[in-house]
């Protein structure tokens, strides 16, 4: 991959970590930040490098730009690392300049590949761009300051799929040299979104701990203290609805209980048991959100729960618990999360049958 031109879209902690790591591996790396926020990365512009500390050490050259044209032109791969609410603004900046044969990977995706596909059809008809999603960021990291990112851990694997899914296998082979961790093929970007465990744990956990969060400002362990037996029961119902939705689209999703057992090698017969006794969570001390407007709610409800509800409805699957969580958060925060979220219209799937949605995920338009 030496001197392959790549661009990282989004200059938060994950974007800076990936940009530095790609440069470390020999890529000609450009870090793109939206023009509205470029002042926040002035040290990188001034020094022309990003410093990594922790499990990865060193300073690596990175070109920085706020120009979508400069980020997209000639880039073989573009990796978008951003919160879901920032995906559309970032994509809009590079969309006019994407070239035939380019690949855009959303890390993580949260169903955005479908919205991006719709935008490509509307604004760049005829351009052949592969879209892809992962289910998580490869790094456990934080910014010590702009231009210095601390990497304290790496995920064991990242699941990935292309849109269209028929390109996933060849894409994984092309991307493997870029990552020091395993890339696992998922059936489709539809599966990537539905197998995101944040859908099960985050917003429901905050909802059932709202009083505790507001009275203590998050002074408790979110998973170990907050996911009690009763909370775990509700989350199991959410997971049942998630798995049923996947099944309706021909996707055999691993249950949250199976996922936690496999990922952390934990024993337990309920979600409460495998989460509350997980040392990966309990060792962090008080880590609960300090406010109910945390991204566990404002990101996961519109960008994970709402599209899951939309897909369930299209497939005739009942999801009353997920529906109730979305309804209650809309009431608590006085927001229309169903209107704000990734609806079938935004995803370009409005009016499609289950079969048509599955065909789009497999072969694109």
Which neighbouring-strand residues pair with 131? 104, 163
- Distance between CA atoms of 311 and 306, rounded to whole angstroms? 9
| pLDDT tens sequence for the chain (365 residues) | 557 999 999 999 999 999 999 999 999 999 999 999 988 889 999 999 999 999 889 999 999 999 999 999 999 999 999 999 999 999 999 999 999 999 999 999 999 999 999 999 999 999 999 999 999 888 888 888 989 999 887 877 889 999 999 999 999 999 998 887 889 999 999 999 999 999 999 999 999 999 999 999 999 999 999 999 999 999 999 999 999 999 999 999 999 999 888 766 777 899 998 888 777 666 668 989 999 999 999 999 999 999 999 999 999 999 999 999 999 999 999 999 999 999 999 999 999 999 999 999 999 87
Q: Are 55 and 142 in contact (CB under 8 A)?
A: no
Determine phi and psi for 89, rounding to 5 degrees: -60, -40
Q: Are strands 58-61 and 49-54 parallel, antiparallel or unpaired?
A: antiparallel
Model pTM score: 0.93
Let me know: does 190 contact 251? Beta carbons within 8 Å: yes
* Cis peptide bond prior to 108, omega within 30° of 0: yes
For helices 320-332 and 198-207, what crossing angle results, to 10°? Answer: 50
The pLDDT, as a whole number, for residue 7 is 98
pLDDT at 217: 97
Q: How far apart are the first and last CA of the chain?
A: 30
In 267-353, which ranges are continuous DSSP H helix? 271-276, 279-282, 295-298, 300, 306-314, 320-332, 337-340, 344-347
Q: What is the pLDDT of residue 137?
A: 87
Handedness of CA 10, 11, 14, 20 (dihedral sign): positive
Task: Extract the tokens encoding 193.
Answer: 């979104």
Reduced to 3 states (helix: H, G, I; strand: E, B; else coil), residue 139 is strand
CB contact at 8 A, 79 and 7: yes
Q: How far is CA 179 from the centre of its chain?
A: 17
pLDDT at 280: 66
The total of other beta-carbon atoms located within 10 Å of residue 207's CB is 20
């Amino acid at each position: 991959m030496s001197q392959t031109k790549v661009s990282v879209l989004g200059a938060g902690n994950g974007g800076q970590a990936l940009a530095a790591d790609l440069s470390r591996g020999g890529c000609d790396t450009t870090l793109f930040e939206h023009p509205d926020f470029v002042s926040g990365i002035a040290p990188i512009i001034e020094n022309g490098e990003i410093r990594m500390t922790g499990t990865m050490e060193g300073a690596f050259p990175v070109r920085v730009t706020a120009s979508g044209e400069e980020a997209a032109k000639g880039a073989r791969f573009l990796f978008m690392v951003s919160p879901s609410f920032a995906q559309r603004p970032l994509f809009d900046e590079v969309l006019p300049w994407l070239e035939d044969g380019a690949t855009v990977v959303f890390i993580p995706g949260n169903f955005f590949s479908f919205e991006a596909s719709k935008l490509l059809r509307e604004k760049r008809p005829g351009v052949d761009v592969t879209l892809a999603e992962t289910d998580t960021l490869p790094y456990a990291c934080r910014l010590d300051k702009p231009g210095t990112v601390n990497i304290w851990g790496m995920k064991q694997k990242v699941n990935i799929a292309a849109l269209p899914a028929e390109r996933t296998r060849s894409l994984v082979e092309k991307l493997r040299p870029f990552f020091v961790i395993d890339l696992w093929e998922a059936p489709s970007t539809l599966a990537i979104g539905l197998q995101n465990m944040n859908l099960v744990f985050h917003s429901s956990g905050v909802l059932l701990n709202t009083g505790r969060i507001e009275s203590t400002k998050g002074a408790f362990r979110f998973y170990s203290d907050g996911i009690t037996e009763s909370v775990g029961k509700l989350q199991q119902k959410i997971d049942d609805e998630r798995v049923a939705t996947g099944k309706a689209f021909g996707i055999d999703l691993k249950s949250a209980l199976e996922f936690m057992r496999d990922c952390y090698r934990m024993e337990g017969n309920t979600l409460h048991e495998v989460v509350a006794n997980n040392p990966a969570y309990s060792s962090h001390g008080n880590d609960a959100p300090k406010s109910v407007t945390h991204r566990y709610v404002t990101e996961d409800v519109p960008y994970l729960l709402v599209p899951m509800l939309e897909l369930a409805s299209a497939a005739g699957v009942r999801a009353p618990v997920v529906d109730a969580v979305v309804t209650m958060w809309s009431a608590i925060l006085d927001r229309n999360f169903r209107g704000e979220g990734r609806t079938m219209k935004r995803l370009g799937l409005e009016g499609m049958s289950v079969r048509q949605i599955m065909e789009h995920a497999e072969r694109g338009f």
